[in-house]
Amino acid sequence: MALALTNVWRLLRAGVTLARHGALLPPEQLTQLPAPVRALLKLCQIGKKEEGDQANRISQALSALGPSYIKLGQFLSTRPDVIGAKRAFELKVLQDRLPPFSMAEAKATIASELGKSVEELFIEFGEPVAAASVAQVHKAKTRESEWVAVKILRPNVEKRFAADIDSFAFAARQMERLSAEGRRLRPVAAVDVLAHSMKLELDLRMEASALSEMTKNSKDDPGFRIPTVNWALTSRRVLTTEWIDGTPLADVEGLKRRGLDLPKLADNIIQSFLRHAIRDGFFHADMHQGNLMVDEAGNLVAIDFGIMGRLSVKDRLFLAEILYGFITRNYLRIAEVHFDAGYVPDTQDVQSFAQALRAIGEPIMDLPADQISMARLLTQLFEVTEQFDMQTQPQLLLLQKTMVVVEGVARTLNPNLNMWTTAEPVVKGWIERELGPIGKLEGAANAAASLGRAALQLPEMLGSAQKATRMLADMASGGGLKLDAATTTAMAKAQVKARRWQSLALYTGAAALVVIAVKLVV
């Protein structure tokens, strides 16, 4: 009870803060509230200052509430199904910026985490160059004369996030308990995704690991690279990476002065993101202009890997086939993919769902190439699924949010960007590889490996079966369990049959491995 009251108090305090900034509800919804509620909101707004348009007021309110609410606002910008399309649009401009914490606190964290003082570790250590809700970044020079970026977590940020996440989870549980629509939207699962994301973001070793993993995944990708990690100067609350000298993507005029091919760069942004999402199932989920730059060699460089997304093979096939289905206008196939993935219940009609998809696709596909938005298409796709009882898929929401951002960044460089032409080589190539001969061969190899693992477990399985048989026999002899002659005979036959099947599985697995090995050699 005490915890529930604490969460209610925190949520009420947040509501009052939003009300004071005039950001709790859009004006058109305020008029629909009961008179006592409107009066209470006006009371909360006494002394408030005018802070510009609605989007700016929301940004100011969430910044006043602290780091957790900034992250929540960014996350909710991907959920127009929950907060409405207009409010979701307003939240998309929310900037994750806060005043920096002091140099004394930054140096104390480094000394505590790395075991040596800043003066012992660095020749130079500058003032913060960027400060966000979770951490801030300093430019420094190591004793080996290498320029590095040192990212340091804010003091006590973990404790603040833990408390606020508890409140978000409490609110989500109440939504699902009180509303059928709330259960369909799965707010508890959405908060779980946010909590997991924040848990990873608050351990900078995980960010270092993400950098390392993506470096391996993208080592052969043309025109794309990632800063290297200095593991010796990295810990849970400190991350040190290579310093990148480059032109931020927000500096379009600077990119032009360098003579860079902006349409080609825009294509590179889209294709790099799709490779990571569809090919690797591991993507940078915060690819806004502030986290992208072009280095001196003309490569696209991504930084700040605190928020990452993962997709299972099923989700990647789902995404690729959906995108390719819209490219080829094969709406029935898109509908079938939803059913095959289990996202739309079998109680729904696949033909009706295909008809709804056509209603989404045709108006977009008939637009001029420069007006076709893949992000808009996915947004409408997730909105229409409500009619067909499709549950929210939290892992796809992060992907959709990132695609909205990536597409927006690319269009600042090339307003005439043709999304389908740019995306098709990556999407089509991956589908052909996964569903073609190579993908089938690799799938067979994986299946054979699973058989091999099962075969290795057969002795243990047989031993367990024998133990179970002895146990049943002991129980029967002791009077604890009565088995007649017919039952024991049937059990014996079943055990012999099971052994035959286990032997067959072992031989089949071995044969499959031999066949695959021969094919790979040939």
Could you give the angle at the alpha carbon of 423 between the alpha carbons of 330 and 255, nearest 5°? 155
Whether 96 sits among the annotated catalytic residues: the reply is: no
DSSP alpha helices (H): ranges in 436-484? 437-456, 458-477
The identity of residue 196, as a single letter, is H
Give SS3 for 346: coil
Choose the catalytic residue: 286, 304, 346, 370.
286
| pLDDT score for 55 | 59
* Neighbouring residues of 17: CB distance < 8 A, sequence distance ≥ 6: 61, 64, 65
Q: What is the largest CA-CA distance in the chain?
A: 92
- C-alpha 301/C-alpha 226 separation (Å) is 6
pTM of the predicted structure, to 2 decimals? 0.69
pLDDT of residue 42: 63
> Which residue carries 């409405």 as its tokens?
84
Element (H, E) at 239: strand 238-242
Q: Are 361 and 324 in contact (CB under 8 A)?
A: no
The low-confidence residues of the chain, meaning pLDDT below 50, are 438-457, 472, 475, 479-484, 487-488, 491, 494, 498-499, 501-522
290/299 Cα distance (integer angstroms): 16
Among 259, 249, 243, residue whose Cα is nearest residue 294: 249
DSSP state, residue 229: B
User: Distances in Å between the alpha carbon of 300 and those of 224, 284, 303, 400, 418?
Assistant: 5, 13, 10, 21, 20
DSSP-derived 3-state class of residue 301: strand
Q: Give yes or no for a contact between 368 and 355, defined as CB atoms under 8 angstroms apart.
A: no
Q: Which among 395, 391, 323 has a CA at the least distance from the CA of 357?
A: 323
The alpha carbon of 201 is separated from its chain's Cα centroid by a whole number of angstroms, namely 12
Q: What is the 3-state secondary structure (H, E, C) of 367-395?
A: CCHHHCCHHHHHHHHHHHHHHHCCCCCHH
